Amino acid sequence: MTFPDLQVDWLKCFVTVVDAGSLSSAAPQMHRSQSAVSMQLKKLEAALGRQVLLRGPRQHQLTPDGQLLLGYARRILDLHAETQAAFRGEELTGRVRLGVPDDYAAAYLTPALKRFAPRHGTVEIELDCEQSTSLIPRVECGDLDLALISRDHARRGTWLFSEPMVWVGSPQFEVWRRDPLPIAVYETTSLARASAVQSLGLQGRRYRVVYNSSSLAGQIAAVESGLAVAALTRCSAPAHLHILGSAHGLGPLEPMEVAAYRSRASRGAKAVDSLYRLLIQTLRSAETA
């Protein structure tokens, strides 16, 4: 049995819809009408003989076949773009001022930069590591081009994935047994701090703040020394610390919504455009592929 060839335009349409989350969001990016985008997807599914997307009123979800296709489609489109650039003699240049919180840098930014750097070695990247509460206003005023953030508003940036929050404590000191509970927290405006305080409030558990710091290293040091327990993103919780839960008298924490957030001033900057797309492709694929 022979199958029709897959057209690059179909794959571009499919990946754009996945990254945008819906036809209505993808259509302007493709410079097509929603009906044209829908037709491209139907042609792709007809060629494959499989359904790749479950259509919803607001959000599209990948089927198991769509999850399989997404990885192949991204690789094909990457190679297609590299081939075009090689024959056009194009070389991406410029500078990207990029921001990321400490806890997301190693776990999530490193894989994206490992893909970006070999392809675009002439692009200069300036990296600032700060908390999201500091990065967001810097993006909005144009001091940063792009940032990976824990967003505080559903419309802020392009959603990538949800990062679980966990309580951590040192098994050596069992601080969680104390009353009131000593906690280490981030700055007042931190979403992680708000989640921790809300969780304890819902439990009716008494607590006292014994350590304030915007530094992830500082939070971990406070826990390791037996000074406090802390609420951290799961990706940043060291393996030698205990993940705490209901068995330790601690309730669940709200997850962080991680997003790619770019400045208005950077629109049209090719280097920023490229890294922005790569962040979405690399990090959202962990959830959807």
- Spatial strand order of the sheet with 229-233 comes to 207-212, 181-185, 229-233, 165-169, 242-244
Give the pLDDT of residue 4: 83
Question: From the CB of residue 116, how many other CB atoms can be counted at a distance below 10 Å?
Answer: 21
- Ranges of beta strands (E only) in 8-142 are 53-54, 61-62, 94-100, 123-129
How far CA 230 is from CA of 49, 112, 191, 252, in Å, comes to 50, 28, 13, 13
* Distance from C-alpha of 143 to C-alpha of 130, rounded to nearest angstrom: 13
pLDDT digits (tens, 9 = 90+) for 147-175: 999 998 877 888 999 999 999 999 999 99
Return the bridge partners of 257, or none: 162
Asked whether the predicted pLDDT for residue 212 surpasses 50, the reply is yes
pLDDT digits (tens, 9 = 90+) for 94-146: 999 999 999 999 889 988 888 788 777 789 999 999 999 999 999 999 999 99
Domain boundaries, the chain: 8-87, 93-157+258-288, 165-254
Report the pLDDT averaged over residues 228-243.
Answer: 96
How far CA 191 is from CA of 4, 93, 183, 287, in Å, comes to 50, 36, 15, 22
Query: 3-state DSSP call for residue 13?
Result: helix
Asked whether the predicted pLDDT for residue 288 surpasses 60, the reply is no
Give the pLDDT of residue 150: 95
Task: Tell me which of 204 and 86 has the higher pLDDT.
Answer: 204
Q: Which class is domain 8-87?
A: mainly alpha
Query: 3-state DSSP call for residue 206?
Result: coil
Mean pLDDT over each residue of the chain, to the nearest integer: 89
Give the pLDDT of residue 146: 97
Terminal-residue alpha carbon distance, the chain: 28
Copy the structure tokens of residue 197.
Answer: 């305080």
pTM: predicted TM-score of the whole model, two decimal places? 0.70
Please name the fold of domain 165-254.
D-Maltodextrin-Binding Protein; domain 2 (3.40.190)
Asked whether the predicted pLDDT for residue 46 surpasses 70, the reply is yes
Q: What's domain 93-157+258-288's architecture?
A: 3-Layer(aba) Sandwich (3.40)
pLDDT digits (tens, 9 = 90+) for 216-235: 999 999 999 999 999 999 99
Give the pLDDT of residue 20: 77
Check if the beta carbon of residue 199 is closer than 8 Å to that of residue 263. Answer: no
Domains 8-87 and 165-254 share a fold: no
Check if the beta carbon of residue 192 is closer than 8 Å to that of residue 230. Answer: no
